[in-house]
Structure 1
């Protein structure tokens, strides 16, 4: 049998409802933990989570509230372009991330954290959470929903598209926050996108 012979693998099965629930719950928690680490370090990151962090530094608004409000317009795209099931899961995912962010804000207090660690660990945790939810066909924010739509329509990589869209967020961060924080923010974006580029590829995952 060849090294890449898959003839012995069982037939792929779709995720069950319980699989989806658990995937969304754990993925959203990982994302919230990552954003919490980055919030403690005063940096931003990829996607709507990064925009929510940036707004929390500029205005008297919490990350959880900003994340929910920012994503409301993109639910329309999820409904019209990606289907009702994707829309429902996307609303659930964004709501869960917002809830977990509120819970961690109330339950976790971080007095000191190195920005480099927050960028790598927080970005990796957020990326893993996004990946978990994408595996269950769920958008976790405006950037991801738009990237998934472009992948469906044009076959473009979710990871590379997310990276390109996030560049605009980092440009805004460079203008709005201290330069050293912006550098660490770039590192966090690379950590998030690296997870998606490495593991979110069409045809690689079969449901197991």
Structure 2
């Protein structure tokens, strides 16, 4: 990766975490909602005992990172740890002391909090980074229960946090507004990073397909297929690399192709469903 790409990565990461922190501090916290994830648990802890949200988010991620180091790999863990450290500093020492909080209509606070948090996370995810937390928990759980789709695990974990928020805030609307904020956050993330598709299909024509294939297998942990093809103009035999991936892996695969062969012919198509090994099982599909 060249220096320009690294600077862009850092810019998007800082900007995204800054926007997310404003959404949490200025809108979500005053609305007394906890829209899922480790940050939602940290918000409830702050409500009960006044502990800083950023610090508690970092503290709760430590055991998750220890497990992910062994199970998910050093690169994923270090990237996530860096994002969480940066997020904690921005939230506790930059946004919280200087930015005002919104104390008006609760529904507006919920909507804007979800939108800003989603926009911030969307910028972070668009560069292929992760913030650990719920994602890491679900990846670790899937190693133990591979038959359960990752989407269902995310819903289960976030659902438990939302249910707990009703008890902590002593208000059933905390859970209802939390669902609204989580919905807005998810939709904004999808619109920034992925669009509305459920997955992507990649067709890559390159003289360096073997190197691209090795990087995808090693770094993204996705399979790939080499297809024999013939160029219609030159009538020369070529190989087309076919790869299906989940929406969260789009930026990472795109970067791999760009780094190895900037001149590659790269086609990305949207697919409504991907079934089979590594995705939702055909047996689980309700057609």
Q: Give the TM-score of the pair, scaled to structure 2.
A: 0.59
Deviates more, 1:169-178 or 1:180-189: 180-189
Deviates more, 1:88-97 or 1:195-204: 195-204
Question: Structure 1 residue 145 and structure 2 residue 120: aligned?
Answer: no
Match of 1:100 in 2: 90
SS in 1 for 2:104: coil
Q: Across the two proteins, how many residue pairs are aligned to each other?
A: 195
The answer as to whether partners of 1:46 and 1:188 remain within 8 angstroms in 2 is no
Whose radius of gyration is greater, 1 or 2?
2
Call closer, same or farther: CA 1:59–1:203 in 2, change over 3 Å: closer
Match of 1:27 in 2: 16
Query: Comparing both structures, which one devotes a greater share of its residues to helix?
Result: 1
SS in 1 for 2:180: helix
Question: Structure 1 residue 126 and structure 2 residue 126: aligned?
Answer: no
The runs of 5 or more residues in structure 1 that have no matched partner are 1-12
Call closer, same or farther: CA 1:156–1:113 in 2, change over 3 Å: farther
What is the rounded CA distance, in whole Å, between the counterparts of 2:137 and 2:55 in structure 1?
Answer: 21
Q: Deviation at 1:143?
A: 0.2
Call closer, same or farther: CA 1:195–1:111 in 2, change over 3 Å: closer
Query: Comparing both structures, which one devotes a greater share of its residues to strand?
Result: 2
What is the rounded CA distance, in whole Å, between the counterparts of 1:56 and 1:74 in structure 2?
Answer: 20
- Indicate which of 154, 158, 162 corresponds to 2:154: 162
The answer as to whether partners of 2:19 and 2:116 remain within 8 angstroms in 1 is yes
What is the rounded CA distance, in whole Å, between the counterparts of 2:53 and 2:86 in structure 1?
Answer: 13
When the two chains are superposed, the root-mean-square deviation of aligned CA atoms in Å is 2.9
Q: Deviation at 1:170?
A: 0.5
Call closer, same or farther: CA 1:26–1:88 in 2, change over 3 Å: same
Match of 2:127 in 1: 136
Q: Deviation at 1:180?
A: 2.1
Match of 1:9 in 2: none
Q: Deviation at 1:203?
A: 6.1
Query: Greater RCO between the two (CA within 8 Å, min separation 6)?
Result: 1
What is the rounded CA distance, in whole Å, between the counterparts of 1:137 and 1:28 in structure 2?
Answer: 14
Deviates more, 1:82-91 or 1:155-164: 155-164
What is the rounded CA distance, in whole Å, between the counterparts of 1:134 and 1:22 in structure 2?
Answer: 13
